[in-house]
């Protein structure tokens, strides 16, 4: 194995390690993708996670300077097709191989900079712009990988991919309400008074999220076979998390972080695997 190939392998493994360390749920879903798709999705998540950590966790350092350096290094890696930062090296491989638009990368960084300064979103347009850059473009990056060069399909599924990213992000907002408000001082949902968070306000937020889930579901079954099962499990996991949140009183979200137990995650996987197996067997019998 030559030096460059070995370094590429180490870089991809680094992105996988970041994914597995920070998100067991996404790691589980990625393992359900076809083997051809796992490494590039790890590479996207590793990149996104590092940027998130800069703005959310590096409190003792100059976050803006670090983010600016990370952004400059990202564009340099994409242009040069190599980076001494393993996370960025694996990310640029995906960007260049799957023709991911730099506009998506730019929108992502725009939202990361927003997190440095903004604590409250005044209206729906502001929030939608933020969510587009922080979550929806990540879904669009993954969609480029899933479609493997089929630009017509990627364009057709764009609405569903952005809706899925939006749903995931908004569920995270509710799940992390306590940490975001007390730890980071952020209040994402405009027009909601969280000092008097009412049942009616909570239901309005949840109705908006449910609408995103419904739009996303329309596209999942149109995904290529290599991606469909893994994305469906991620969808079902977040939907399960969402329904657990809907059953709680508003103030409960400030007292604990809602989780889906591991046994329930495994049950979701087993249930959908058996449904797919049954469907495939029925197709064989009808032929």
Cα separation, 68 vs 64, in Å, equals: 6
Distances (CA, A) of 166 to 33, 139, 199, 254: 21, 9, 22, 22
Global pTM reads: 0.88
Q: Closest Cα partner for 237 from 225, 229, 249, 247?
A: 229
| pLDDT for res 246 | 94
| pLDDT for res 49 | 97
| pLDDT for res 274 | 42
R_g (Cα) of the chain, nearest Å: 19
| pLDDT for res 24 | 82
Looking from the CA of 34 toward its CB, the CA atoms found within 13 Å total: 12
The mean of the pLDDT values for the chain is: 89
| pLDDT for res 238 | 92
Reduced to 3 states, what is the DSSP secondary structure of residue 120? strand
**And the tokens for 252?**
């409960």
Show the low-confidence residues of the chain (pLDDT under 70): 1-4, 260-287
| pLDDT for res 254 | 84
| pLDDT for res 96 | 98
| pLDDT for res 23 | 87
Q: What is the DSSP string of 91-116?
A: HHHHHHHTT--HHHHHHHHHHHHHHH
Give the end-to-end CA distance of the chain in Å, rounded to a whole number.
47
Q: Closest Cα partner for 109 from 88, 84, 93?
A: 88
Helix 35-57 × helix 102-117 angle, to 10°: 30
Reduced to 3 states, what is the DSSP secondary structure of residue 222? coil
| pLDDT for res 184 | 78
| pLDDT for res 284 | 40
| pLDDT for res 271 | 55
| pLDDT tens-digit readout, 39-94 | 999 999 999 999 999 999 999 999 999 999 999 999 999 999 999 999 999 999 99
């Amino acid at each position: 194995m030559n030096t460059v190939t070995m370094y590429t392998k180490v870089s991809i493994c680094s992105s996988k390690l970041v994914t597995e360390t920070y998100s067991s749920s996404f790691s589980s879903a990625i393992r359900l993708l076809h083997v051809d798709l796992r490494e590039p999705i790890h590479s996207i998540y590793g990149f996104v996670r590092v940027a998130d950590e800069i703005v959310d966790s590096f409190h003792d350092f100059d976050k803006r300077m670090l983010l600016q350096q990370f952004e400059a290094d990202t564009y340099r890696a994409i242009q040069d097709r190599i980076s001494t930062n393993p996370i960025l090296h694996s990310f640029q491989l995906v960007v260049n191989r799957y023709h991911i638009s730099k506009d998506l990368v730019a929108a992502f960084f725009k939202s990361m900079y927003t997190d440095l300064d903004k604590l409250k979103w005044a209206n729906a347009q502001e929030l939608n712009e933020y969510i587009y850059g922080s979550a929806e473009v990540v879904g669009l990056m993954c969609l480029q990988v899933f479609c493997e060069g089929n630009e017509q399909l990627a364009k057709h599924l764009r609405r569903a991919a952005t809706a899925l990213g939006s749903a995931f992000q908004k569920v995270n907002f509710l799940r992390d309400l306590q940490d975001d408000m007390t730890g980071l001082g952020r209040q994402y949902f405009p027009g909601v008074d969280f000092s008097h968070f009412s049942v009616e306000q909570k239901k309005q937020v949840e109705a908006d999220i449910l609408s995103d889930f419904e739009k996303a579901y329309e596209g999942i079954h149109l995904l290529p076979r290599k991606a469909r099962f893994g994305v469906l499990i991620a969808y079902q996991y977040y939907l399960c998390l969402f329904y657990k949140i809907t059953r709680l009183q508003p103030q409960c979200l400030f007292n604990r972080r809602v989780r889906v137990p591991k046994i329930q995650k495994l049950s979701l996987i087993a249930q959908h695997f058996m449904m797919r197996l049954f469907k495939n067997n029925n197709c064989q019998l009808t032929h």
